[in-house]
Structure 1
Amino acid sequence: MSDITMPLNVALVQTALVWQNPLANRQQLAEQISRIEGADIILLPEMFTTGFSMQSQHIAEPEGDTLGWLQQQAQQIGAALVGSVATRTDKGCVNRCYFVTPEGQVTAYDKKHLFRMAGEHQAYIAGDQRVVVSWRGWRFLLQVCYDLRFPVFSRNCHDYDVALYVANWPAARRHAWRTLLQARAIENQAFVLGCNRVGSDGNNVEYSGDSLIVDYLGQAVADHAPAQASVLRATLDYAQLKQYRQLFPAHLDADAFVLS
């Protein structure tokens, strides 16, 4: 990793979503994104075009409209965009998280841990690849919502600096959301960004947002007011992260393991 990696300006869009209406959601998010200045990377919630719907055969779209929209928005704003979309593939429907850069680079991660309590494992196919993206000198682990509960999958194998979680995490379990984001940051000595939605969905599930930007000590650098639509911002300093890892190299004593 270069010693001259620049600080990273991040923005998390905590917003309500229009149930199963991609056009309306793209329009409202385009307006919100257009007002964000100076960001390097912007996070959107999980399934930001539809809400967390299990009607995959109805809402999932082939790679096209929304991916093209992400590329256009990224180019216009000059920032990378991250968020997940219900996507139709040759193998079936997936909950696909995109990392789209203003240069046109597209990286995709299909959510591995599907939320069976809502029937997600019956409506979508689980991904089988752990995905890390390198961009502007930083390394990003892509994660989606329920992945947060599985620390082995997000284990830092000296290969990422920031873990990105996009979510539709219900208000009823907000304590777990906030606690686990901080835990993932501490145990992996990495920045953690968690972008969650607000409002209610078509199943009358309420979302409190509680989006967080957490540093490598597990401390909240920035914290959204619960249940309010807003944009959370912070600047991440790689030099400080590197210094902390050198002064407190707990990763050198980590247990060896292999994901099966």
Structure 2
Amino acid sequence: MRIGMAQMDISWENIEDNKKKVEEFFQKAVENQVDCIVFPEMTLTGFSMNVEETGEKAEKQVHFFEEMSRKYKMLTVFGYTEPVPEERLKEHPDWNHYYNRLGIAENGELKLNYAKIHPFSYGFEGDYYQGGRKLKSVEWKDTTLGAFICYDLRFPEIFQISSEKSEIIFVIANWPRSRIDQWDTLLKARAIENQVYMVGVNRTGDGDGLHYNGHSAIYSPEGDVITTIREEECLLIGDIDPGVIKEMRKTFPMKNDRREELYIKMWKNSML
């Protein structure tokens, strides 16, 4: 399967222009026979604390990407923000009122909506967005897809759980240049330790005083980078063979050697 990574320069002030840019990426993806296209975190706005504006537009954001997936007949991975439902806020009045989400759409239908588990407290995201509580996966072309967002990449436990089923894991991000070496290293590590393809898609451009320089990439389960590292806005393309994952997990069944019960016991003991 062919994956297209839309390494976008996102401008908060020009959401309509961002939509036009998104469609241009779809057109390039069609020209290159892409099966799945992946966009960065908060695709139409970039990393933003303007939650009232971005959140209220959530339904329109999702509908836009659903329509793009239908129009271009392509699995679409994208980022958006969404208000926490009123019934959930009644149950948890101390929660923040918005989620930072990743969506996967196919044929005009939202197939997966994952809420970022770890808001980036260093960047004050945790003051505005509520952390999710569920892992999500979806089946596509006889392959299981997992999904995470940006800062989640620093927490290996959730990747171990996801990779019990997932063979390809997407991470969409707004990851700044100042820590880009860590992005590269963590993507590679997660691929190796989980025996998965890691598809990491980051933005370019400037926002809120930070510079973003891409480095979107696909890493194989051996830790090899499949795509060329680029820093400018572009569509990166990588070919993935999920059969490699299935075969590796048969011949080198590393997960069979994990001692989950012992890890849980150690964790509990460390809290005493």
Q: Is TM > 0.5 for Structure 1 vs Structure 2?
A: yes
Provide the rounded CA distance (Å) in 1 between the counterparts of 2:195 and 2:172.
Answer: 19
Listed as ranges, the matches of 1:8-47 within 5 Å are 8-37=1-30, 38-47=33-42
Provide the rounded CA distance (Å) in 1 between the counterparts of 2:60 and 2:163.
Answer: 35
Unaligned runs of 5+ in 2: 90-96
Listed as ranges, the matches of 1:157-196 within 5 Å are 157-196=163-202
Q: Any conservation in 1 of the 2:4–2:237 contact (CA below 8 Å)?
A: yes
Are residue 70 (structure 1) and residue 65 (structure 2) matched?
A: yes
| 1:72 CA drift (Å) | 0.9
Q: Any conservation in 2 of the 1:224–1:230 contact (CA below 8 Å)?
A: no
Structure 2 partner of 1:3: none
1:35–1:157: structure 2 CA closer, same or farther, 3 Å change rule? Answer: closer
Are residue 219 (structure 1) and residue 224 (structure 2) matched?
A: yes
Amino acid at match of 2:14: N
Find the residue that maps to 2:156 and give its secondary structure.
coil
Find the residue that maps to 1:70 and give its secondary structure.
helix
- Relative to the length of structure 1, the TM-score reads 0.91
Amino acid at match of 2:127: Q
Provide the rounded CA distance (Å) in 2 between the counterparts of 1:35 and 1:133.
Answer: 25
Are residue 82 (structure 1) and residue 88 (structure 2) matched?
A: no
Find the residue that maps to 1:152 and give its secondary structure.
helix
| 1:62 CA drift (Å) | 4.8
Query: Can you list the C-alpha shifts for 1:171-217, whole angstroms capped at 9, x where unaligned?
Result: 0000100000000000000000000000101x120001000111010
| 1:105 CA drift (Å) | 4.1
Provide the rounded CA distance (Å) in 2 between the counterparts of 1:97 and 1:108.
Answer: 6
Find the residue that maps to 2:46 and give its secondary structure.
coil
Find the residue that maps to 1:222 and give its secondary structure.
coil
Q: Any conservation in 2 of the 1:20–1:49 contact (CA below 8 Å)?
A: no
Find the residue that maps to 1:36 and give its secondary structure.
helix
Provide the rounded CA distance (Å) in 2 between the counterparts of 1:238 and 1:96.
Answer: 25
- Relative to the length of structure 2, the TM-score reads 0.88
Provide the rounded CA distance (Å) in 2 between the counterparts of 1:216 and 1:105.
Answer: 28
Say what the alpha-carbon RMSD is for the aligned residues: 1.7
1:238–1:157: structure 2 CA closer, same or farther, 3 Å change rule? Answer: closer
Q: Any conservation in 1 of the 2:188–2:198 contact (CA below 8 Å)?
A: yes
Q: Any conservation in 1 of the 2:65–2:78 contact (CA below 8 Å)?
A: no
Find the residue that maps to 1:19 and give its secondary structure.
coil
Structure 1 partner of 2:109: 104
Amino acid at match of 1:26: K
Find the residue that maps to 1:64 and give its secondary structure.
helix
1:24–1:103: structure 2 CA closer, same or farther, 3 Å change rule? Answer: closer
Q: Any conservation in 1 of the 2:28–2:235 contact (CA below 8 Å)?
A: no
Structure 2 partner of 1:4: none
Query: Can you list the C-alpha shifts for 1:19-66, whole angstroms capped at 9, x where unaligned?
Result: 143322112111221221221211000001111011212322254211
Comparing 238-247 with 141-150, which one deviates more in the overlay? 238-247
- What is the number of equivalent residue pairs in this alignment? 251
Are residue 238 (structure 1) and residue 242 (structure 2) matched?
A: yes
Provide the rounded CA distance (Å) in 2 between the counterparts of 1:157 and 1:74.
Answer: 26
Q: Any conservation in 2 of the 1:62–1:88 contact (CA below 8 Å)?
A: no
Choose which of 244, 253, 256 in structure 2 pairs with 1:249: 253
Unaligned runs of 5+ in 1: 1-7
Q: Any conservation in 2 of the 1:213–1:223 contact (CA below 8 Å)?
A: no
Provide the rounded CA distance (Å) in 1 between the counterparts of 2:242 and 2:49.
Answer: 39
Provide the rounded CA distance (Å) in 1 between the counterparts of 2:13 and 2:210.
Answer: 14
Are residue 55 (structure 1) and residue 50 (structure 2) matched?
A: yes
Bigger Rg over Cα: 2
Query: What percent of counterpart residues are identical?
Result: 27
